[in-house]
């Protein structure tokens, strides 16, 4: 198969869909890889490095989209990209369609077969292609919160871990999944006064054991969320419903009663955000203030550390990408975990959570492929 890697064009997105090392794996498996010139610049991977690995460098993204049978990206296609997609072509990337009707409409119109990293599953019920970026985003969320807490950023002027004789910041993490766990590791390591809220009691037991009692855990009821948010200096939104829009767990009315200069970091912003006042921001302008509360809602947080992120992502996506390149639609038909990743196929929505979130018709994967 001819696999294409365009340069990412989203604002301040420096990751790349396939690293030179992964190119070598595709080429060794008998595939042709086309890489847009300077696609790897954000991770210091030169065109020469890609050519040495066996890729062919092309001058424009237009050539990639015109010639490739499968497009491998990192972020969701932008309007200028989805208009170049076509029926019979496979798109393999993050999509996050539930809060994005415009992109969904573009993909449906194109007829492309779109497999979303964030809904591919594994035999344990996990999300293996979302996990590495969730790990990065979880850790970055605490770094971002620490910067936003500083007075010149509009924050309360606090150090997350405090110092001897001065209390540390109170950090509330809503969601005890991959993002929440890695955020908690960072916050606990810095010495924060930390609480994790989650709806799963088994998960709370696991977290309590994992952290050896160094963090508090609470069942994520409305009352518990309100109490912890109002007491917090930092709130990390780390909830996830695979494929669906994130639930809004903190209202504007609650925001108005929070501490002035407190910080919200909404890691769920890709799926619409879990705070009522959230809206997507970029690394160019990452924060905004409402009711005196600083909001950090960057939709591609791992793009800030593209070297780490690109290699972590490729470690996870490579086996699935090779399977798609080798067998195309057959790989989706034969592998239920890849089938779970199929969101759009030839003008049909094939993920039930996406369809429900957008109030659109849903068609099962098997029926859509057979049509």
Q: Is 96 a catalytic residue?
A: yes
Torsion of CA 209, 214, 215, 217, to 10 degrees: 40
Go through the chain and tell me how many residues it has: 371
CA angle (360 as vertex; 354, 366 as ends), nearest 5: 70
Q: What's the token pair of residue 121?
A: 């599953």
State the catalytic residue, choosing from 198, 233, 270, 337: 270
CA dist 237 → 133, 174, 197, 266 (Å): 15, 5, 10, 5
Of the candidates 332, 340, 312, which has an alpha carbon nearest to the alpha carbon of residue 131?
A: 312
d(CA 34, CA 162) in angstroms, rounded, equals 50
Q: CA-CA distance, 192 to 248, in Å (whole number)?
A: 25
* Count of H-run helices and E-run strands, the chain: 15, 15
**Cα separations in angstroms, 165 against 10, 161, 169, 172, 190:** 45, 11, 13, 22, 15
Distances (CA, A) of 215 to 48, 149, 210, 232, 286: 48, 21, 10, 14, 28
- Active-site position among 31, 96, 295, 345: 96
Q: Which residues are catalytic?
A: 96, 270
């Amino acid at each position: 198969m001819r696999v294409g890697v365009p340069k990412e064009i989203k604002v301040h997105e420096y990751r790349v869909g396939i690293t030179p090392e992964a190119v070598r794996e595709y080429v060794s498996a008998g595939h042709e890889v086309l890489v847009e010139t300077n696609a790897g610049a954000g991770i210091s991977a030169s065109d020469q490095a890609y050519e040495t690995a066996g890729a062919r460098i092309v001058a424009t993204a237009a050539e990639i989209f015109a010639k490739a049978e499968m497009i491998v990206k990192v972020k969701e296609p932008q309007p200028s990209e989805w208009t170049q997609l076509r029926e019979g072509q496979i798109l393999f990337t993050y999509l996050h369609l539930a809060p994005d009707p415009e992109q969904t409409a573009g993909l449906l119109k194109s007829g492309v077969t779109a497999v979303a990293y964030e809904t591919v599953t594994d035999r344990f019920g996990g999300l293996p292609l979302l996990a590495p970026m969730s790990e990065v985003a979880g850790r970055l969320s605490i770094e971002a919160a620490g910067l936003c807490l500083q007075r010149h950023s509009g924050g309360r002027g606090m150090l997350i871990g405090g110092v001897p004789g001065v209390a540390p910041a109170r950090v509330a993490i809503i969601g005890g999944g991959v993002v929440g766990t890695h955020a908690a590791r960072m916050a606990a390591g810095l010495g924060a006064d930390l609480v994790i809220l989650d709806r799963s009691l088994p998960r709370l037991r696991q977290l309590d054991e994992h952290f050896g009692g160094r963090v508090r855990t609470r069942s994520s009821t409305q009352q518990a969320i309100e109490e912890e948010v109002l007491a917090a200096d930092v709130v990390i939104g780390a909830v996830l419903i695979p494929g669906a829009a994130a639930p809004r767990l903190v209202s504007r009315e609650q925001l108005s009663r929070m501490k002035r200069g407190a910080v919200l970091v909404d890691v769920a912003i890709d799926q619409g955000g879990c705070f009522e006042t959230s809206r997507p921001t970029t690394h160019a302008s990452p924060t905004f203030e409402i009711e005196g509360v600083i909001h950090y809602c960057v939709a591609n947080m791992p793009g800030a550390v593209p070297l780490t992120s690109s290699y972590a992502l490729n470690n996870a996506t490579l086996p699935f990408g090779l399977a798609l390149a080798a067998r195309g639609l057959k790989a989706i038909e034969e592998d239920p975990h890849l089938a779970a990743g199929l969101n759009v196929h030839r003008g049909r929505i094939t993920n039930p959570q996406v369809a429900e979130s957008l109030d659109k018709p849903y068609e099962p994967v098997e029926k859509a492929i057979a049509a």
